[in-house]
Structure 1
Amino acid sequence: MKFYSILIVLFTIGISTSFAQSYSPKIERCACNIKIEEGVIARCGYLVVPENRKRPDKTLLKIPFIFVRKNGMDSVRNISLYTTGGPGYSTTLGITKITANSGFLKYGGFIAFDQRGTKKAIPSLECPEIDEAIKRSYAENLSKDSLVLLAVKSCRKRISAQGIDLSSYSTTESAADINDLRLALKIRSLTLIGLSYSGGLMLTVAKNHPEGIKALVLNSPLPGFVNYEEHGLINMNEALEQVFANVLTDSLKDERYKDLRNRFHEYFTKITGQHFTIKYLPKGKTDSLSIKYGKAELLDAIIGRIDNNRLKSVPFVMNELIKGNHYEYISELLDGVFLGDPTRSLGMRYSVYCSGQIAYSDPQLIAMQDQILPWLSGYPFNNVNAEICDCWKVRNEGKEAKTPVYSTIPALISGGDADPWCRPFYNTLIKRYMPNAQVILIHNRAHGAGFGANGFDYLEEFMADPFKKLKSRSNNVIIQE
């Protein structure tokens, strides 16, 4: 899943407590190196907890947080906590300023909390070897899969030599971290906000540590109890179907998009296994590279545009690629490859994903997707796979991590019908076991669908009364009963 970090400021919980008596979570204060507007009280620091709660006398972790509230606001009630998705991205990294009008501050205090192993946490499970391997594979036209596996082994060896227990970086442990932060800050009423992967993380908190949890706000969540790998391509195909439906609705008289669905299927089925070549000049370099690419990169150019800002452009890009006009879009993709992504911690992503997803996914069901969707067959829809996990070598999360979350905690869950990763189907599954959950589906929204549409903010209404039944205010929003 090529998940990206979004909603840093505006968006921004048990394991059995059998080990709770053997250690006490601590707060270590630090300077808030961000701009704080007058009237806002800020507290920055690290949550200090054991890496392995079964061995609390060993390695300690430091996980960053920013806790802000306006003058006069309660410091222990009506607090919202957000941690970003991925997994592998930092929540606090992009926060440079807090104003009195920032996001959830209108509802009470707000906490931005990182996950163990991410960029600003100590330690951080970064693997720069991986980005370098990918760059080299393109620059020298070598096997990307082979180079990445070598880099994964190198990164694991380097991190493990530091005494880090890679199996302690899991969804279950991150959920316990959130509960420990709540305890350390003496918070009595907490609303959990999650996006994508962190939506599933917040569900794990609600299952394992329900004490003090007032409500859940889940934006395009990926519940941990599903096996994403078994329907990753199916999810993307459903989003593409929404694109084709839009073409039929909005462009009946536009000859450019005539029969686009069939032409897309035919073209991307036909080019399976084919390679193309582009002359590419990396930014800051003087010599061009002759780079081979294929179906995966062309699909990247399309799937990457199915977002809340560029959805309308997808039919045009499809049409251009089918006509053979690749240069602009492959160059843009290569710009991202050679720039790399210094904000993510791939080692943390591997530990979380390998222990909680790949370990439980059926390889036969994963492969079946290639058979029923030949136009997407072979597309690497995730940058974590079974081969990488065989190299990363972490313990599987317990089977309880794959059970649904049965809870009466009220929840607001949003989804977009054009989301290529976390489909509305997941929201329906979550709601099935949570009688006080409310699901909103927003037409022509993709990943990170949000909670507002046509000038109305459903989140504001939910936060005022989480048990009140919401009503749709437009034809673009469906509220699931």
Structure 2
Amino acid sequence: MPENRERPGGRTIRLAVATVPAVSSTPAGDPVVFMEGGPGGDAFGAIPFLIASGVNRDRELIVMAQRGTLHSEPHLACPEIDRFNAYAVGLPYDAPSTGRLLVGAAKECRDRLTADGIELSAYNTTENAADFADLRRALGIEWWNVYGYSYGTDLALTYLRRHPRGIRSVAIDSVAPPQIVSLPWTWDSAQEGINAIFAACEAQPGCGSRYPDLPRTLTEQVRRLEANPLTLTVQPPGGGNPVKVVLDGGSLVNLLVADGGAMPAVDVPAALDELAHGNPERFARAQAAGATPVIGEFAHGLTQSVACGEWAPGFSEADLLEAGRRAFPGWSDTVLAHAPQLPFEYDVCRVWNVPDRTGIQRVATYSDVPTLIVSGTFDAKTGASWGEYTARTLSRSTAVRIPGIGHFVVPQSPCAQSVLASFLAHPTAPDDCCVAGLEPAPFTITPDPERA
């Protein structure tokens, strides 16, 4: 592929593509192409989840490693940032000194990549979408179906808007609408996902009575830890040597938004109650999980080129803080000044130094291509309400919410898998009746220490 399509005859890049045969002996002729999240995730790493979810049951599955990601050339890995992230579990989350270390790691990575001749500004969603359009033509496919999750929904909607030819249907999972994605937007999603967990606990008799007023408990713990961080030595969940971790208000919030296996949503009420009673073990172990990342795999270079060109511009640090205050009044400003999952992003973007692309990218997609929109109610990265928001401009869309599920819904929900299969078979009339009977899983209930 061209690195930059605005420079004819310029540098080319190589993108890795995998095809997974359909399970059916009589597959449909229109395959499914997958768009990975991140930005910067390893698309091939998602193949086991896609197969287990039945995405290739009746159709061939095509997976392309997006430009800059693992298995493509060049690979915009930043081991400098990976090493910082491993070290940062033992640092105050939002201290200026921590930010300086992150910015230094990002600058070191940027300088190395640009010294190799990489044009970082070309690693954007517009070029990414054009890669997929070129892939369909290169494979000689007349019609295909698109399935993307997280950043892959931003990409899929951009692709649908700019390259609609040959698209039979689009399924988007955990939606980041390109016209609204920004750093302040992250606080809206965090509020929605966290509050949904608390509301679900309140609706379960055992959980609601055991853990009353979770929003107040969380606010108290964020403020307490931000004023007096805890420093502990704990063993990571995956084993290995104990590591130093720091729990402050920012790291607590980041763990809740991260939606990872280290802190499942069903454990959140119990973990907050334990924390409030002087036992930080669950959160400390979840924080320690970040001490052992895979170095040099995730494409932070694509992350920063997209975030700094498409998500950060147009809003100030004051706008981000104000969005945080609206979402979580009473929390410490030092916590609310940072976008969840993207701390110190404005500082990083100043050294990453790519052009503002919001005029091209921050645009709604209007389409009558059949679209399935799947959201999880516990998703604190891409709040569930953004699914319905996106549906407003997609005239033949079906939006479903899966209760009790967080980010990347289909691999976690048999019902969502059934809806996706029905949609691929009948894009204008999918069977989503299984959603009506769903309830979140029971929350973890621990003995009340005050009654012990």
TM-score under structure 2 length normalisation: 0.85
C-alpha distance in structure 1 between counterparts of 2:325 and 2:207, whole Å? 34
| CA 1:426–1:302: 2 relative to 1, 3 Å | closer
2:229 aligned with 1:278, yes or no?
Answer: no
Tell me the residue number matched to 1:425.
385
Tell me the residue number matched to 2:59.
108
- Of the three residues 139, 143, 153, the one matched with 1:185 is 139
Tell me the residue number matched to 1:34.
none
Structure 1 segment 57-206 matched on structure 2, within 5 A: 57-70=9-22, 77-93=29-45, 95=47, 103-137=54-88, 143-206=97-160
Tell me the residue number matched to 2:6.
54
Q: Secondary structure at the match of 1:229?
A: coil
Structure 1 residue 251, shift from structure 2 partner: 3.1
Structure 1 residue 140, shift from structure 2 partner: 7.8
Contact 2:257–2:381, Cα closer than 8 Å, also in 1: no
2:430 aligned with 1:466, yes or no?
Answer: no
Structure 1 segment 21-60 matched on structure 2, within 5 A: 49-60=1-12
Q: Secondary structure at the match of 2:354?
A: coil
| CA 1:338–1:108: 2 relative to 1, 3 Å | closer
- Of the three residues 157, 163, 168, the one matched with 1:214 is 168
Per-residue Cα deviation, 1:54-89 (whole angstroms, up to 9, x for no partner): 2232211001111233597679x4111002101111
Amino acid at match of 2:406: A
| CA 1:353–1:460: 2 relative to 1, 3 Å | same
Contact 1:83–1:193, Cα closer than 8 Å, also in 2: yes
C-alpha distance in structure 1 between counterparts of 2:61 and 2:297, whole Å? 23
Number of equivalenced pairs? 426
Mean Cα deviation higher: 63-72 or 148-157: 63-72
C-alpha distance in structure 2 between counterparts of 1:144 and 1:57, whole Å? 42
Q: Secondary structure at the match of 1:359?
A: coil
C-alpha distance in structure 2 between counterparts of 1:334 and 1:291, whole Å? 6
Mean Cα deviation higher: 351-360 or 240-249: 240-249
Larger RCO of the pair (alpha carbons < 8 Å, separation 6+): 2
| CA 1:430–1:324: 2 relative to 1, 3 Å | same
Tell me the residue number matched to 2:395.
435
Higher helix share: 2
Structure 1 segment 328-367 matched on structure 2, within 5 A: 328-340=282-294, 342-367=296-321
Structure 1 residue 196, shift from structure 2 partner: 0.8
RMSD over equivalenced CA pairs, Å = 3.0
Q: Secondary structure at the match of 2:56?
A: helix
Amino acid at match of 1:174: N
Tell me the residue number matched to 1:383.
342
Amino acid at match of 2:185: H
Per-residue Cα deviation, 1:138-197 (whole angstroms, up to 9, x for no partner): 568792211111111111111100111000000110000000000111110010000011
> What runs of 5+ residues in structure 1 fail to find an aligned partner?
1-48
Structure 1 residue 402, shift from structure 2 partner: 1.0
Contact 2:255–2:263, Cα closer than 8 Å, also in 1: no
TM-score under structure 1 length normalisation: 0.80
Amino acid at match of 2:428: F
Contact 1:307–1:447, Cα closer than 8 Å, also in 2: no
Q: Secondary structure at the match of 1:395?
A: coil
Tell me the residue number matched to 2:436.
475
Per-residue Cα deviation, 1:297-335 (whole angstroms, up to 9, x for no partner): 223343345779932211111111122211343134223
Mean Cα deviation higher: 424-433 or 465-474: 465-474
